[in-house]
Amino acid sequence: SPDALAALKADLSGRVVLVEEPARVRKRSRDFFWYSPVLDAELKGLSGDLVAEPASEAEVIAVAAACARHRVPLTVRGGGTGNYGQAVPLHGGVVLDVSGLDRVEWQRDGAVRTGPGLRMNRLDALLAEGGEEIRMHPSTKRTASIGGFVAGGSGGIGSVNYGQLRERGNIRAARVVTLEPEPRVLELTGDAVNGVAHAYGTTGIVTALEMPLAPVHPWIDVIVAFDDFLTAAEVGLAVGRDPAITKKLITPIAWPLPQWFTPLRAQCPPGQAILIAMVSEASLPAFRARAARAGGTITLETPLDDSPGHTPLYEYSWNHTTLQVLKTDRSWTYLQSLHPADGLMESVAEMAALFPDEIVPHLELIEFAGRLTYAGIPLLKFTDAERLNHIIEAHEARGVSIANPHVYTLEDGTRHKRAETDQLGFKRLTDPMGLMNPGKMRTFTPAAQGA
């Protein structure tokens, strides 16, 4: 209510930087939900009432306490690059921009402890001095924060080696501020980190993270062109399984998607599928041999460069593949699928043939439960929600599971349609009044209104 907001502002003024100018607040209440025509219709125009910019954990605690005392919703924001409206406040209130919490505390024993607001490319630049890098990052590495990745992302470049973010050991520890009149600070380790991982900021404010690291390699960006998509996918899988090749990204993409990769036109021959890869420099001879044996033509081979003014190939992979297409044609949207590791290539071939006029395949090789398999982020020609649901059901009926990117609640976006039990229980401890990003965990009801 306006009274509660006024009281909250009075509480915080002079203690935490607050932004109230409506245009600036609206801008920082948005993310990339417009990717989905369904979410665009549902979330367009929603906004918080003000933005708080804490510079320390103590200031985070002050905001959390004020929100709890005055019953004002709070939505945490990192880089604002989520694509399911994760950072969009459904019920107004405070947008807590944590980008000021960007300090690395230490790097040792193959891990780093850092504030959540640090951008991942900045984090990797700091880590490289010690010969290490984060195990995996989303294709939005240059704009997204490490805290937003943990709370809103799922995996990406590096997942071919380490699996998705939520696989055991990929987050070592998280420090969490609860949303209560007297906020507590919890240190989560081991499996307890699942309470906040991919919880969309509904279960507490992450103020520090301990992430395991990987050795840094001189990565080479490579494109190989193939006459057909299935050959590209088969070579990708073979490269993934080849212990002589150190890799970080393996992405088969069917034509006509590369036709929208305008700056790469010369490297994407018309009518051909491509395989995008990041391999270590020392692995290039083994990689080239595999590509050549399968009839592929290498059209690009260049050291990874993601400094300003350059576009790394990873910005054509994962959800950036979708973005590159949407830049010119908004009639497309996408799905997120997971093929079974058993009968993988049969499954890939079956799905590539099933909706030839509506779906164009794009795969990402990942480790899943200890085995290599393909995740898919196919482009989908959008007609309406009913058709979309039919296509999703057709995938699931064939053993290809779908994480629906056209919904904003945690439960509906996962394969099992429920909040993980550890997250629902954890929310009762960290946010008993249900003020954190309300509406995103739909199975939660605050105790006062519960059954």
- What one-letter code names the amino acid at 397? A
Q: 308: helix, coil or strand?
A: coil
* Footprint (CB under 6 A) of ligand FAD, residues 12-71: 31-32
CA distance 330 to 361: 17
**Interface segment toward ligand FAD; rule CB under 6 A; list 152-160, 223-231, 266-274, 387-395:** 152-160
CA distance 262 to 246: 29
Query: CB-based burial of residue 129 (10 Å sphere; 0-12 exposed, 13-18 middle, 19+ buried)?
Result: exposed
Provide the minimum distance between the beta carbon of 442 and ligand FAD in the complex, in angstroms, as a whole number: 14
CA distance 277 to 338: 19
Size of the site for ligand FAD (CB under 6 A): 38
Closer to ligand FAD by CB, 134 or 392: give it: 134
Q: Is 86 in the site for ligand FAD (CB under 6 A)?
A: yes
Q: Is 142 in the site for ligand FAD (CB under 6 A)?
A: no
Quick one: DSSP state of residue 158?
T
Q: Is 376 in the site for ligand FAD (CB under 6 A)?
A: no
CA distance 239 to 235: 6
Provide the minimum distance between the beta carbon of 86 and ligand FAD in the complex, in angstroms, as a whole number: 3
Q: 434: closest CA among 444, 421, 423?
A: 444
**Interface segment toward ligand FAD; rule CB under 6 A; list 135-143, 237-245, 331-339, 408-416:** 135-143
Q: Is 151 in the site for ligand FAD (CB under 6 A)?
A: yes
Q: Is 205 in the site for ligand FAD (CB under 6 A)?
A: yes
**Interface segment toward ligand FAD; rule CB under 6 A; list 50-58, 83-91, 344-352, 397-405:** 83-91
Q: Is 75 in the site for ligand FAD (CB under 6 A)?
A: yes
Closer to ligand FAD by CB, 7 or 186: give it: 186
Provide the minimum distance between the beta carbon of 105 and ligand FAD in the complex, in angstroms, as a whole number: 15
Q: Is 323 in the site for ligand FAD (CB under 6 A)?
A: yes
Q: Is 183 in the site for ligand FAD (CB under 6 A)?
A: no
Q: Is 138 in the site for ligand FAD (CB under 6 A)?
A: yes
Q: Is 144 in the site for ligand FAD (CB under 6 A)?
A: yes
Closer to ligand FAD by CB, 94 or 237: give it: 94
CA distance 185 to 58: 10
H or E element in which residue 231 lies = helix 229-241
Provide the minimum distance between the beta carbon of 415 and ligand FAD in the complex, in angstroms, as a whole number: 15
Closer to ligand FAD by CB, 62 or 87: give it: 87
The correct pick among 70, 320, 395, 406 for binding ligand FAD (CB under 6 A) is 320
CA distance 103 to 291: 42
Q: Is 374 in the site for ligand FAD (CB under 6 A)?
A: no
The token pair at 218 is: 């001189």
**Interface segment toward ligand FAD; rule CB under 6 A; list 20-28, 236-244, 317-325, 425-433:** 317-325
**Interface segment toward ligand FAD; rule CB under 6 A; list 102-110, 315-323, 339-347, 386-394:** 315-323
Tell me the residue number closest to ligand FAD, measured at CB: 148
The token pair at 303 is: 């050291």
The correct pick among 81, 178, 194, 347 for binding ligand FAD (CB under 6 A) is 81
Residues 29/46, Cβ–Cβ less than 8 Å? yes
CA distances from 183 to 58, 206, 394, 422 (A): 10, 13, 46, 20
C-alpha 435: how far from chain center: 23
Q: 240: closest CA among 349, 134, 347, 375?
A: 375
Q: Edge-to-edge strand order for the sheet containing 332-334?
A: 332-334, 379-381, 359-360
Q: 284: helix, coil or strand?
A: helix
The correct pick among 89, 93, 152, 258 for binding ligand FAD (CB under 6 A) is 152
Q: Give the sign of the dihedral formed by CA 239, CA 241, CA 243, CA 249.
A: positive
Residues that bind ligand FAD (CB under 6 A): 31-32, 75-83, 86-87, 98, 116, 138-140, 144-145, 147-149, 151-156, 200-201, 205-206, 318-320, 323, 437
